[in-house]
Amino acid sequence: MEISERAKSISPSVTLEVSAKANALKAEGASIIAFTAGEPDFNTPEYIIDGAKSALDEGKTKYTATPGIKELRKAIAEKFRKDNGLVYTEDQIVVSDGAKSSLYHAFAAILNDGDEVIVPSPYWVTYCEQIKMCGGVAKVVKTDEKSGYKLFKSQLENAITDKTKCLLLNSPCNPTGVVYEESELKDIAKVCEDHGLYIISDEVYEKLVFDGKKHISIASVSQYAKENTIVINGVSKSYAMTGWRIGYLAAPLNVAKAISKMQGHTTSNACSVAQYAALTALTGRDGENYIRFMASEFDERRKILSSLLDAEGIKYVYPSGAFYVFMRVDDYFGKSYDGNKITGSVDFCNLLLSEGVAAVPGAAFGEDGFVRLAYTVSKEDEIEGVKRISTFLKKLV
Ligand SMILES: Cc1ncc(COP(=O)(O)O)c(C=O)c1O
């Protein structure tokens, strides 16, 4: 049987090779510090588990409305009002099985074949593949140290063609941890308005913002932005609920309806019990406290990891959000470890495993000169992990 051209065009995950190797080494009993997991290492809080148990006891195990149970969509609309100053009716909210699914349906609902989507790099790898799967073309725009790894409005302007439909924005960003300021979002929104572009704004890390910064949704910076943005969010990262698979989006009514219609033929409703768990997460008394606890824990780890890297003279993008440090490794390209030459971030990560550290190659995020360290590990592991990275670097010749 022959697979489609579309399926052929999808790139395999560059992270898989390193993860598979790390797992194989662990299974053999090797000590590996894994800076690879893109998910909180905490358990889902008790009050949310209790909410799910009650839903099960009450028999909430049937199909629900495709865009999600009304109570949850109302709670999400309230979240947008309270946290982001955005007013939506519950009909403008669609709940999906994970923000990844929300993103896919958002691209599917607005892209025609050949439409271009501007994606600032470094980017989360899934965007480009989903855009392709929906018939679009990802137009990657490189950001760099000079722009603080953010998209300048002039860069955006230069990337626009008559095929550009949409801008994809991710703040706080995976993998850099960069957080856009309100003034920067206003500049970007103005360029989008001047060129009639839509915006898809991925805000799944909104609760993990540090250094006194505040997460601002680009949809809130102007009337145009509100009317032309699909905001993507979810409970995975905010409430340590990655396995429950609940994401959501807010969109103009006609777009939300189109997404719901399409979702009715792809995944249907998200898991009913997980929806009730998400409802408890958003409305439960303990939610704010839990988020504060988790954010302060990640903040502490962020400070520890960055000071450890500073002490070793290792360069990285200073993160203000999410739970990642994007470490610069291109200075080591051309050097060898144990007779093996490092030509890129995949080699770097493969060889780093020999010193007992797993990291994700920057090639997975469109920036081969870096590797991503997720500080979803204990502080003790951060200390040991950086010690091992330092040993690795000292062995390079
Ligand atoms: C930037 C970004 N967006 C979306 C997602 C998907 O989240 P979910 O677990 O809700 O599908 C992730 C998960 O790693 C992510 O890093």
| Residues 351-364: b if buried by 16+ CB within 10 A, e if exposed | bbbbbbbbbbbbbb
Q: Which of 3-12, 69-78, 122-131 has the lowest mean pLDDT?
A: 3-12
Using CA positions, which residue lies closest to atom 1 of ligand 1?
A: 174
* Separation between Cα atoms, residue 119 and residue 382, nearest integer Å: 31
Find the mean pLDDT for residues 358-378.
95
pLDDT in tens, 315-356: 999 999 999 999 999 999 999 999 999 999 999 999 999 999
pLDDT in tens, 238-254: 999 999 999 999 999 99
- pLDDT band per the 50, 70, 90 thresholds, residue 110: very high
- 123 Cβ below 6 A of ligand 1: no
Classified as helix, coil or strand, 317 is strand
Cα 390 to middle of ligand 1, angstroms: 30
Cα 43 to middle of ligand 1, angstroms: 17
Cα 301 to middle of ligand 1, angstroms: 21
Classified as helix, coil or strand, 368 is coil
**What's the order of all strands across the beta sheet hosting 324-328?**
316-317, 324-328, 370-374, 360-361
Find the mean pLDDT for residues 372-382.
96
- 115 Cβ below 6 A of ligand 1: no
Token pair of 149, please? 């790894």
- 202 Cβ below 6 A of ligand 1: yes
> Can you give the pLDDT at residue 195?
98
Q: Using a CB cutoff of 8 Å and minimum separation of 24, what contacts does 327-331 make?
A: 327/359, 327/370, 327/371, 327/372, 327/373, 328/369, 328/370, 329/362, 329/369, 329/370, 329/371, 330/368, 330/369, 330/370
- 246 Cβ below 6 A of ligand 1: no
Q: What is the DSSP letter of 375?
A: -
For the chain, domain boundaries: 5-43+288-394, 60-283
Find the mean pLDDT for residues 128-138.
96
Q: Of 6, 111, 65, 63, nearest to 261 (Cα)?
A: 65
> Can you give the pLDDT at residue 70?
98
* Separation between Cα atoms, residue 248 and residue 269, nearest integer Å: 11
- 122 Cβ below 6 A of ligand 1: no
What's the sign of the alpha-carbon dihedral 180, 232, 240, 84? positive
Q: Can you tell me which atom of ligand 1 is nearest the CA of 101?
A: 11
Cα 317 to middle of ligand 1, angstroms: 20
- 376 Cβ below 6 A of ligand 1: no
* Separation between Cα atoms, residue 278 and residue 324, nearest integer Å: 25
Q: What is the DSSP letter of 285?
A: T
User: Given ligand 1 and candidates 126, 179, 275, 376, which is best to mutate, with the most ligand atoms within 8 Å of its CB?
Assistant: 126
User: Given ligand 1 and candidates 130, 174, 275, 376, which is best to mutate, with the most ligand atoms within 8 Å of its CB?
Assistant: 174
The model's pTM: 0.96
**5-43+288-394 is a CATH 3.40.1190.20 domain:** no
Q: Can you tell me which atom of ligand 1 is nearest the CA of 234?
A: 10
Task: Tell whether the model's pLDDT for residue 15 goes beyond 70.
Answer: no
> Can you give the pLDDT at residue 20?
79
- 174 Cβ below 6 A of ligand 1: yes
Q: Do the beta carbons of residue 105 and residue 255 sit within 8 Å? A: no
| Residues 376-394: b if buried by 16+ CB within 10 A, e if exposed | bbeeebbebbbbbbbebbe
Task: Tell whether the model's pLDDT for residue 133 goes beyond 70.
Answer: yes
Task: Tell whether the model's pLDDT for residue 307 goes beyond 90.
Answer: yes
Find the mean pLDDT for residues 300-317.
97
| Fold of domain 60-283 | Aspartate Aminotransferase; domain 2 (3.40.640)
- 170 Cβ below 6 A of ligand 1: yes
Q: Report the percentage of the chain scoring pLDDT > 90.
A: 91
- 64 Cβ below 6 A of ligand 1: no
Token pair of 335, please? 């050097």
* Separation between Cα atoms, residue 5 and residue 108, nearest integer Å: 18
Find the mean pLDDT for residues 278-292.
94
Average pLDDT, the chain: 96
pLDDT in tens, 160-212: 999 999 999 999 999 999 999 999 999 999 999 999 999 999 999 999 999 99
- 247 Cβ below 6 A of ligand 1: yes
Find the mean pLDDT for residues 49-59.
98
User: Given ligand 1 and candidates 204, 245, 323, which is best to mutate, with the most ligand atoms within 8 Å of its CB?
Assistant: 204
Q: Do the beta carbons of residue 355 and residue 391 sit within 8 Å? A: yes
Cα 127 to middle of ligand 1, angstroms: 10
> Can you give the pLDDT at residue 292?
94
Cα 179 to middle of ligand 1, angstroms: 16
> Can you give the pLDDT at residue 286?
87
Residue 43: exposed, middle, or buried by beta-carbon count in 10 A (0-12, 13-18, 19+)?
A: exposed
Task: Tell whether the model's pLDDT for residue 373 goes beyond 70.
Answer: yes
* Separation between Cα atoms, residue 375 and residue 299, nearest integer Å: 10
* Separation between Cα atoms, residue 249 and residue 10, nearest integer Å: 25
Q: Can you tell me which atom of ligand 1 is nearest the CA of 170?
A: 1
> Can you give the pLDDT at residue 37?
85
* Separation between Cα atoms, residue 207 and residue 233, nearest integer Å: 11
Residue 214 gets the label, from left (phi > 0), alpha (psi -120 to 50) or beta, of: beta
Cα 369 to middle of ligand 1, angstroms: 23
Classified as helix, coil or strand, 383 is helix
Q: Can you tell me which atom of ligand 1 is nearest the CA of 202?
A: 3
Using CA positions, which residue lies closest to atom 16 of ligand 1?
A: 174
> Can you give the pLDDT at residue 16?
67
> Can you give the pLDDT at residue 32?
95
Task: Tell whether the model's pLDDT for residue 387 goes beyond 70.
Answer: yes
pLDDT in tens, 61-108: 999 999 999 999 999 999 999 999 999 999 999 999 999 999 999 999
- 38 Cβ below 6 A of ligand 1: yes
Q: Can you tell me which atom of ligand 1 is nearest the CA of 174?
A: 1
